[in-house]
Amino acid sequence: MRKPIYGLCIFLCFALSGTVYGQYTETINSNRPGESQGAFAVGTQVIQVESGFDLGNDTHDLLNTDIDITAFNLDLRYGFWKEALEVSTFFRYQSNNVSFTTGSIDPRRVNGVENLQLGAKYLVYDPHKKGEDEPNLYSYHANFKFKWKSLIPAISVYAGAVFDFENELDTRREAGISPNIALITQNNWGRWVWVNNIIADRVTSDFPAYSWITTMTHSATEKIAFFAEYQLITGDLYADNIARAGGAYLLTKNLQVDISGLVNFKDTPTRWNVAAGLSWRLDLHKKDETIEDTSGDDEKDGKKKKSASKRQAEKINKKKRRDGVDPDGGDDDGNL
């Protein structure tokens, strides 16, 4: 069990020593709705609150239990030091009304902290860094044709601590602290975003769990987005296949509301859940941080390389000065 942890720690240390680029967005970048988290941080000096309530039911055919669930979630995210770094804490409080489908045992209600995590996420690689996707000033078709490099995702790593408390929500799990680690990838394809999370949860506890979450989000308009998600969970304590779907609406650039639901594909237990949430951010972001790549010739002479778009613009200006004709078909005044 320890080898995967050491391997990820080595990878994380190596990644932190490299050059990376963060991405701050003008509108709120929430992980809600859904269970996965995106690869990008919220941005430096940004405080983000993501909260929600949910109602659900778990019916277990073998244990003969019927559990009505109400819960509150709170996720706090903060970006500092570098654009690529984010610290976060996740809290879930749950109340279960437990009934038994056989026998004469009276129903009972149990409450407690179902999950409490504190961790950090770091953007290791961003395929859109250093102006690699600047427009081609000579060709309209070159800007919109399919690019194989668009299949390369942004990559982040997450490491955190899970705090378990003694309560009656699950008496099989002992109180203590254990690590949670994750590898996160994200592809941005215009109005479509594809996110994948590979997670090792409570890896040093008696009941570690491993899961894969894949989420596809589509922005129907500037304010409305929909998502579909699949989660595979494996572990000695709990294993499942879960499907989620829902949508979000952007009220302002710093405020979002969402609604979602889930079902699973087994009867130990059979699960359903509906949730509604609110995400809000306090945006104190001042500037976008760019870390220049100083490798190769730039390291020797200390000169910055010109971007591809600037070089193309200079070529156009030189040709205009030479013959007075715009190579795109217009004259010096921009008329056709």
47 or 137: which leads in pLDDT: 47
Beta-bridged to residue 191, according to DSSP, are: none
253 and 314 co-located in one domain: no
Is 197 in contact with 210 (CB distance < 8 Å)? no
131 and 200 co-located in one domain: yes
Domain count, the chain: 2
**Number of residues that this document lists for the chain:** 336
Q: Two tokens at 66?
A: 């019927």
CATH code of the domain containing 152: 2.40.160.40
59 and 116 co-located in one domain: yes
The predicted-structure confidence for 29-52, as pLDDT tens digits, reads as follows 999 999 999 999 999 999 999 999
237 and 325 co-located in one domain: no
pTM, to two decimals: 0.77
247 and 334 co-located in one domain: no
Residue 226 in domain: yes
- pLDDT of 100 > 80? The answer is yes
225 and 310 co-located in one domain: no
Mean pLDDT in the chain? Answer: 81
**pLDDT score recorded for residue 221:** 94
85 and 177 co-located in one domain: yes
Q: How far apart are alpha carbons 121 and 77 in whole angstroms?
A: 10
Instruction: Output 253-256 pairs: Cβ under 8 A, ≥24 positions apart.
Output: 253/26, 253/27, 253/28, 254/27, 254/28, 254/280, 254/281, 254/282, 254/283, 255/28, 255/279, 255/280, 256/28, 256/30, 256/32, 256/280
- pLDDT of 298 > 60? The answer is no
Residue 75 in domain: yes
Which one, of 224, 225, 230, lies nearest residue 262 by Cα?
Answer: 230
Structural domain of 312: 306-336
20 and 98 co-located in one domain: yes
The predicted-structure confidence for 194-203, as pLDDT tens digits, reads as follows 999 999 999 9
Q: How far apart are alpha carbons 123 and 83 in whole angstroms?
A: 9
Residue 104 in domain: yes
190 and 336 co-located in one domain: no
Is 257 in contact with 243 (CB distance < 8 Å)? no
114 and 229 co-located in one domain: yes
286 confidence band (pLDDT: 50, 70, 90)? confident
CA 102 to chain centre: 42
Residue 301 in domain: no
Token pair 């929909």 in the structure block, residue: 226
Q: Two tokens at 201?
A: 């949860």
Is 91 in contact with 73 (CB distance < 8 Å)? yes
Residue 142 in domain: yes
- pLDDT of 95 > 60? The answer is yes
